[in-house]
Structure 1
């Protein structure tokens, strides 16, 4: 397989699997940390209207979803890519960062959460995925 094809497939795989991890965590988060009483989290409008009811603990699962989705996607991309693994994996982080910025624009979350999420959940987690993938690859050599 040509390296560019493999790299593009690695990127797509990382984005899809990272997205599944993100959504999987979001889907189960309500059973782990229930939303506040009276909060409708089933629609974007309901979420926007009830965001003021959320306590700091309610932001833990969304942060973990964003961070772990990005981490897994970048780790997978860096593990599959045939060259420039860091570039492709950080591309996953950049893609999810754009999604995070869109999320900040759509949801009236507290400023502290927006800052922690944008600064900590995307590029640093993608970089951590690259470091771990490099470690695994060096141990295999």
Structure 2
């Protein structure tokens, strides 16, 4: 298969799989750590109105969803890529980072969470996934 086409398809697969993992973790988060009493988390407006009720524990699953979703998406993309595995994995991290930045404007969150999320959930997880799939290069001695 053409390497460019393979990389494009790998990237798309990484985005899809990473998004599914992210969404899946968000979906189960309320059953693992229930939202505060009286909080409506079904709409953005409800979330905005009740964010003051949230404790630090309520931000664990959103962070995990972002970090694990990015990691798995980057891992899948890097594994499937024909070449430039690290670049493809970091591309997933960058795309998910852009999504994370845009969500900070739509969904309110404490500043500490936004900083932790944007700094640790996206590019570092993509980098780790990229290192795993790129493998170690054996030095060539002449």
Asked which structure has the greater CA Rg, the reply is: 2
Q: Paired residue for 2:133?
A: 133
Q: Secondary structure at the match of 1:82?
A: coil
- List aligned pairs for 1:25-40, cutoff 5 A: 25-40=25-40
Deviation at 1:134, TM superposition (A): 2.7
Q: Paired residue for 1:96?
A: 96
Q: Distance in 2 between matches of 1:24 and 1:3?
A: 31
Q: Paired residue for 1:59?
A: 59
Q: Paired residue for 1:74?
A: 74
Q: Distance in 1 between matches of 2:125 and 2:48?
A: 27
Deviation at 1:105, TM superposition (A): 1.0
Gaps of 5+ in 1: none
Deviation at 1:8, TM superposition (A): 0.2
User: Taking structure 2 as the reference length, what is the TM-score of the superposition?
Assistant: 0.93
Displaced runs of 4+ in structure 1, greater than 4 A?
A: none
Deviation at 1:131, TM superposition (A): 1.4
Deviation at 1:133, TM superposition (A): 1.6
RMSD between aligned residues: 1.5
Q: Distance in 1 between matches of 2:23 and 2:132?
A: 23
More helix by share: 1
Q: Secondary structure at the match of 2:68?
A: helix
Contact 2:89-2:126 at 8 Å conserved across structures:
yes
Q: Distance in 1 between matches of 2:20 and 2:127?
A: 19
User: Taking structure 1 as the reference length, what is the TM-score of the superposition?
Assistant: 0.94
Contact 2:15-2:92 at 8 Å conserved across structures:
yes
Deviations 1:34-65 (A, max 9, x none): 00000000111111111111000000000000
Give the number of equivalent residue pairs: 138
